[in-house]
A and B are shown apart, each in its own frame.
Chain A
Amino acid sequence: MEIRKRKKRKPMLPISSMSDIAFLLLIFIMLISLMNYRKEIPIEYSEAENLEVTQADNNIEIWVDEIGNIYYKGAIVNERMIENIIVDAVVINPATRIHIIADKNTKYRNVNKIFEILKLLQHRAVSLVVEEKGT
């Protein structure tokens, strides 16, 4: 009896499903980046060297512009509102980190308002967000 030889198959990688996977990843990362999206307030960042990463898992960003307006999520808020926002966030997650992003030309008293609120709430750790010098 004659033994029939099997035809050798050429080694192939199916790449048609790669684009599907890539697009799923793309949608996932787009969603994540949208969740992390922050509303930038037009300020001049203060500058320094030897910075450390102060980002935590849960963050609250409080912005102070040159004339002393306080912003949270792109909207102007007053001291009372900021106090409530911080209290609500800390009640849900005590490890919430407060970031102060203030204009370098603003007066110290404008930033001090937030320090006083944090002291009153006994929230001890605060992050001063600054930009690396020369960037």
Chain B
Amino acid sequence: MKIRRKNKKYKGIVDSGALSDLAFLLIIFFIVIAVFNVNKGFMLGLPMADSARLVNVEEIIKVYLDENNVLYYKDEKIMLNELEELVRANFIEKPDMTFLLKVHPETQYQEFVNIVERIKKLEIENFSFSMLEM
């Protein structure tokens, strides 16, 4: 029996068509990873050390946040939603109003963030905060 030789000679070709697809998928992956690193939050303006500013006392809303994460306004407990309403009402009446927040050193940071969030939402420009001296 005669054995037939294979006549076809395969040329050394590498199919590179799929490589570009693979590379683009990797690019998309890295772009997505890069997007994850974008910081989001709130911008705050800090007062200068030892800086003083004259403010009308009647235009100040002074709130105290204690170590148990309870808010006080004029020595009375106040809920965050009530505070929001109070600030909103005052802001309409007195647009130059200053919101002053005193925070107890033992307060949870999240509670401070909650108040900052509300203040930012209400677009109060004169927002001042400091830690209660013990």
A-side interface residues toward B, CB under 8 Å? 15-16, 18-19, 22-23, 25-26, 29-30, 32-33, 36-38, 46-55, 59, 61, 64, 99, 101-112, 115, 118-120, 122-132
Contact = CB atoms under 8 A, between A and B. Distances in A.
A111 B131 CA distance: 10
Contacts of A53: 38-40
Contacts of A33: 30, 33-34
Given A30-B30, A46-B110, A130 B40 contact: yes
Chain A to chain B: the 8 pairs with minimum beta-carbon distance, closest first: A22-B23, A109-B105, A104-B110, A19-B19, A48-B117, A51-B40, A129-B41, A108-B107
A111 B33 CA distance: 28
Contact of A99 (B17, B31, B39, B113): B39
Contact of A50 (B23, B27, B106, B121): B121
A4 to B, nearest CB: 31
B106 A109 contact: yes
A13 B17 CA distance: 12
Contacts of B31: 29
14 contacts: A29-B30, A37-B37, A47-B110, A50-B117, A51-B42, A104-B110, A105-B109, A106-B109, A107-B108, A109-B106, A112-B103, A125-B46, A129-B39, A130-B41
Contacts of B39: 53-55, 59, 61, 99, 101, 127, 129
Contacts of A106: 108-109
A74 B86 CA distance: 42
Most buried by A among B17, B30, B45, B110: B110
A55 B42 CA distance: 10
Contacts of A30: 30
Contacts of B104: 108
B46 A127 contact: no
Contacts of A61: 39
Contact of A38 (B37, B43, B107, B116): B37
A18 B113 contact: no
